[in-house]
Structures are given as C-alpha cells and as structure tokens.
Structure 1
C-alpha cells in the first residue's frame, strides 16, 4: 500500500525529464561512476536522521489521468514513517519499524501489515530505512557528478516502479520523481523542510477508532 503514497508519493510528477532538467545543465555533464554515486547519495542521506515537511504530489500518465494531492510527512530512522494526505482523498500511512498501517478515511478502513516486505525496495527506504540496504536494492546513478540529483533503479524484478529520482538542496531532499510500471509518473515536491529535529513518537503510531474496518494482511 506504500505504492499509493508514491504512485498517486511517496506513498507521485516525477517525470524523469523534470529532474533531468534540474540535475543536468548541459549535454556535456559528466556522469559519476556507480560507486561514486552511491557514496555521494549515502553521504547526503546519512545526514537526514529525521525530517518533517509539507508535500505536493502530482501523478500523470497511465489510464487514471492527472491527480494532485498535498499533505504533510515525517520520517525518522530507523524505519519510522508517516505520510498524511489531506483533502477529499484523505489517507494516513504510518510505519513504526514493525507494522505498517494504511488508513483511508472515506472508506472507514485501515489495513495492517508487516513492514518486513514493504519497505525494502520502495522509495520509503531512502528517507527512513537502513542506508546499508540501498546499494543492495538499487542501482544508483548520478547523471551529473557536480549536482546532487540521483536516479535509482530497483534491482528486484518484483518492484512496483521502474525508477526513482531524488534531488537535494542545501542537504535537504526537495523533490522525488517516481515512474511506475503502469506508465504513471508521480512528482513530489517538499516544502517547509525541517531536518534532524525532534519528532514525537506518537507521530509513528496509529490506533484505529472504534468502528473502523481493520484488515490484516
């Protein structure tokens, strides 16, 4: 269900062409080696121990048309994640390291599942997961060695997306672009980014209200 963040986000107009414009200023840009790209990305992510931000995500392409969502998010290592989409399609996704909850308000339904097979090869791993697993799960590229813009390709044949782009500014993740297997491109722009601040543990817990239909997977 993390895909719903990342595909309609995380759980979004990450057209590869968009980040390429951000990351490459000329056709002569020198690409970093895969080893250097992995090292450079790790050096940036290791400094993102926690993060809160507002987000705007847009999904285009495929048979579902174009959709735009907004909301707030929080991540904290290791493996704590919160993604709250507000508006008419309100959804809350919370992971605390062991359990992943996906709550759809309009359906009055919450899905509970283990995170063990949900975070390993998903974009959520980048901001909240184990950095040592990134190289194991992704081929990391850096189209322009002088720009903090990276494109990652999942190694798993079962991954739900083709590639993921992430851009940094002043050490902060500011944009992610996801191209999924349905022909959709999801762009996520972060604003009001606050890095390495204290986040209340309650942000990463979820208890469904009485009457909510709970589905365990």
Structure 2
C-alpha cells in the first residue's frame, strides 16, 4: 500500500477525495496563538484559543506516518486564518495545493492538475480539526480530557463525538504557556504531527487572502 492518504478532515462524500497528494490537514489551526495565554491545563488553553484568538499566521512542517509505522512523508507550507470561518493553507512543492475557506465555501485547488473542488462550508466542516479554528462548539463536537504530562509537555485529548468525522483522536501538547504539538490519528490509523514556526497571533490579514478565483482553464468540480 502506498503512503497513506492525508487525514480525512473533510469527511464528506466526494469532497475529501481531492485531498490526495500530501498531507492536507487543516488541523494546524488549533496550534496558533496559544503561546502567552494563561491556562490551568490543556483543556483551558484550547477553550481560550477559541474565544480569544481571532486571527493568525504561521509556517508549518507536517509529518505523516502510515498505519504500519514504517513509512513517513513530510510537507511544508504556510497557514493563515481569521474568524469567523476564513482560512488559507498553502502547501509547497513538490505537491503544491491551496485550501481556502472564504466564510461560505471551502475551495481545494491543485495547480498541477488545473483542478479545483468547492463545497459549502456548513457541509465541509463539523467535528473536524478545522472546526476548532472556525469556532466550533467544543462541548458539542468533542470530548476533551487532560492527559498525563510527557517529558514536560501537558497534553489534552480531543475525541470527536461524530463517528463520520474521519478522525479517531487529536492530541494537543503544551509546555508552559506554549502549545508545542498536535497529533492527529485518522480513521485509518494514519498519524499526522504538525509543528509551527514564525507564529503571529491576531495578525492583520488582507481580505483577499481568503478569496479564491479559479485561474483560466481550471476544471471546477462543485460538490453537493
């Protein structure tokens, strides 16, 4: 079996299939802006993030490990978000891809194939990692539980309540006031770990960063 497909964070018929050539997780949203927030534990930090961090940007590195634990693939890129419901993931070469949530729809653009898929945001989101970014109801969508510290890092486990989210679990790790790690296990047992750098909290972002206009000649597939 080839290196497994990315975690299915948009677990909806047809739409998730375009997330296919590298790790296309939107889970990194949950990492941004937590440095400097006062917290008693990981659960408190995550709740503060949802209510206090309105925008941000960062550079990310993501490593995906296949279910057998033997195969790995790393990707890099940049990430930006702004509440409510706006985000932008730009994945670098050799597997370029652009994912944009404009507040109403989610676009996934593959420049190498000149293809774009689009779906209404209320259908694309739900009990997924990106819902944390978009302002999802934590108590409705996730069961949160603090976990024992590991090598000085405090962890919180977020388990989706919906069985069709495509995610088994999320683990968010904190060292002091800083969130230092995010681990995602998808429905197939694939593990994804994200690390962020150059984080800017509550950054002022241009409106057009969250707008997508398909380039001429792009084949657009609308998912319903």
Query: 2:146 corresponds to which residue?
Result: 142
What TM-score, normalized by structure 1, do the two folds share?
A: 0.78
Q: Distance in 2 between matches of 1:147 and 1:70?
A: 24
1:79 Cα shift? 0.9
Query: 1:102 corresponds to which residue?
Result: 108
Change in CA separation of 1:198 and 1:148 when aligned onto 2, cut-off 3 Å: farther
Query: 1:61 corresponds to which residue?
Result: 66
Change in CA separation of 1:203 and 1:88 when aligned onto 2, cut-off 3 Å: same
Query: 1:11 corresponds to which residue?
Result: 26
Checking the alignment, whether the CA contact within 8 Å between 1:172 and 1:195 is kept in structure 2 is no
Checking the alignment, whether the CA contact within 8 Å between 2:153 and 2:175 is kept in structure 1 is no
Q: Does 1:184 align with 2:190?
A: yes
C-alpha distance after superposition, 1:151-202 (max 9, x if no partner): 1000001110100122345755442211011121011101100001101111
RMSD between aligned residues = 2.7
Please identify, of 51-60 and 64-73, the stretch whose mean Cα deviation from structure 2 is larger.
64-73
C-alpha distance after superposition, 1:28-78 (max 9, x if no partner): xxxx9xxx8654421243222111000000100237932110000001111
What TM-score, normalized by structure 2, do the two folds share?
A: 0.76
Query: 1:46 corresponds to which residue?
Result: 51
Q: Distance in 2 between matches of 1:71 and 1:56?
A: 7
Q: Does 1:85 align with 2:100?
A: no
Please identify, of 90-99 and 162-171, the stretch whose mean Cα deviation from structure 2 is larger.
162-171
Query: 2:120 corresponds to which residue?
Result: 114
Question: Matched residue of 2:138: which SS?
Answer: helix
Change in CA separation of 1:147 and 1:60 when aligned onto 2, cut-off 3 Å: closer
Checking the alignment, whether the CA contact within 8 Å between 1:9 and 1:57 is kept in structure 2 is no
Contiguous gaps of at least 5 residues in structure 2 = 1-7, 11-18, 28-39
Q: Distance in 2 between matches of 1:108 and 1:88?
A: 15
Change in CA separation of 1:83 and 1:62 when aligned onto 2, cut-off 3 Å: same
